[in-house]
Structure 1
């Protein structure tokens, strides 16, 4: 039986590329779908998805739901939007599982070290005051009520979601496309990425891994991603100079200071970008010994980049295995 050859675009789908601004940076969405799709309408839905995350979870927007929670009296239950509740619940879980390394209760530290609104000025007086009193992580202070979707604080605390909200925003982009029946996509916000399926030809999505060098955007290698998410945390994007020493923006709550160890960057692959984002932060705080060991014990897929003199050493973990050559680590198709 003879049949007319089908339009390749109708078989594999047309390639679309949309992007916009959010959370002080940019989001992107590349996907394959029917050629007659209303790209403008989808673009509006994508923006609405990430804008809702920003309005709820931003430390920079005075009237965000996060800042409303920060300003709420202790002991008072406060209802919060479903998206914010999801992120708070996940943050507390990762905090417990990382032995407090991931802690959203470091907002006061973030501000004191000059990384919050009004950034750039280190407040030594505030830093000394924070060091003088015991630090209580958010997992000890924040109580959540899943039934009524509300939270309350047992003590004054300033929450900061910069280590997890961006990843959740990526997941929201993915959910937006999936809700429209689009299954082949790559979405991201400032390097945090999530892939849906593979490309129409069956090939995985290729993700560039940056070399952790300040003032320079250079690719260290690439990673293949298929129905998974990846997020990275490092000391090379945001930092301050204080008394001749450079301090990165990721906070070690237990020590009440910026994380400082041999790790330059950590990338984590996980089912959701929210979890990848939080775990990349946690492992960076834990450092080159405890972080790598925890990732190995948990069977996580993670890539660690350690500073080694003027160069870098890479180690990767996957399903309980540790490798000094990322090419040999199953699940992490990284090539240097």
Structure 2
């Protein structure tokens, strides 16, 4: 879909389409009558390529081909998928395992996967006790040859990083078309470059972490950077009358149980922002800000106290936002 408006002699173009169970958007300014057909095709192809490689929901994806492969069997994968897996392992190491992609069995068991079928509580407890091997141990990589193999039972899930990578691919598609100033996003994961006409900054809204409704918590400027948010409010399941958020704690094999409602991270690219938002959410309200500060990251932590959003912690000097949590 394309929409446009005129500003200072330039026309604002908005292209969007479906992807990853949501929609992507691309905003940029160009001369009136600018041909967008080729750009629209490039954007669609970019996100389709990410889904074909990294989707847990597509039975023919490269990710599921890897998941289905027997142990000790080398599997060739596309360069982009190898890049995402390599980055995921790096973030896992740097976060002491808080970010983990070897959680596919847990995601399925808790009802967050393609089958949407939740195991009964005894089966969930047993699954958690198994302490599945982390990807850093269970995978052997040969990045230069774009291949890898499993050394142990393993099912990967890239939902904590693939969407951010998809945003980066949208940015690359625009730049390949000669667009240098833009704002792209997929369901709240955003990346910006340059500015609007006359040097006006791109602005993005930060969502208040409330279930079932969408309200703006604050607005921030974003330039030559990306932002991603992970929280407990978008996807959840109910088991025996209790709700569980979709982010899983690799240490327990169960959904998170801490006071963090959401974490937003600003980084150079959206793949890193996406992965680190998940990692800091898993680490919790004490260790998350500590690690973010230690690594010099820009991160926003919103803490839930019952039904109220009581505290906001901003780490880093570049993340400037006007926040209202009441």
Shorter-normalised TM range: over 0.9
Q: Contact between 1:59 and 1:116, CA under 8 Å: does it hold in 2?
A: yes
CA distance in 2, matches of 1:137, 1:280: 19
- Structure 2: how far apart are the matches of 1:40 and 1:147? 35
Match of 1:73?
70
Q: Secondary structure at the match of 2:116?
A: coil
Q: 2:93 aligns with which of 86, 96, 106?
A: 96
Q: Of the candidates 318, 323, 326, which is equivalent to residue 331 of structure 1?
A: 318
Deviation at 1:11, TM superposition (A): 7.7
Whether 1:196 and 2:183 are equivalent positions in the alignment is no
Give the match for residue 254 of structure 1.
251
Which of residues 20, 26, 31 in structure 2 aligns to 1:29? 26
Task: Compute the displacement of 1:258 (Å).
Answer: 0.7
Give how far 1:36 is off: 3.6
Distance 1:75 1:334 in 2: 49
Counterpart CA distance in 1 for 2:77 and 2:164 is 19
Please name the residue that 2:289 is paired with: 292
Cα deviation, 1:164-218, whole Å, max 9, x if unaligned, reads 0000000000000011110110000011000011112212111101110101110
TM-score w.r.t. the length of structure 2 is 0.94
Shifted more, 132-141 versus 160-169: the winner is: 132-141
The DSSP-based 3-state class of the residue aligned with 2:148 is strand
Aligned with 2:315 (options 303, 314, 317): 317
Query: CA 1:214 to 1:122, structure 2 compared with 1: closer, same or farther past 3 Å?
Result: farther
Q: 1:125: how far off?
A: 4.5
Shift in Å at residue 124 of structure 1?
3.0
Any unmatched runs of 5+ in structure 2? 1-5
Alpha-carbon distance, 1:64 to partner? 0.5
Q: Is the 8 A contact 2:202 2:223 kept in 1?
A: yes
Q: CA RMSD in A?
A: 1.5
| 2:140 maps to 1:143 | yes
Q: Secondary structure at the match of 2:198?
A: coil
8 Å Cα contact 2:258-2:284 kept in structure 1 = yes
Q: Does 1:84 align with 2:112?
A: no
Larger Rg: 1
Do 1:75 and 1:154's aligned partners in 2 also have CA atoms closer than 8 Å?
A: yes
Question: Cα distance, 1:286 vs. partner?
Answer: 0.6
Q: CA–CA distance in 1 between the matches of 2:86 and 2:9?
A: 38
Match of 2:232 among 231, 235, 250: 235
Q: Distance in 1 between matches of 2:49 and 2:67?
A: 18
1:92-118 deviation line (CA, Å, top 9, x unaligned):
000000000000000100000000012
Range with bigger deviation, 305-314 or 153-162:
305-314
SS of the residue 1:118 aligns to: coil
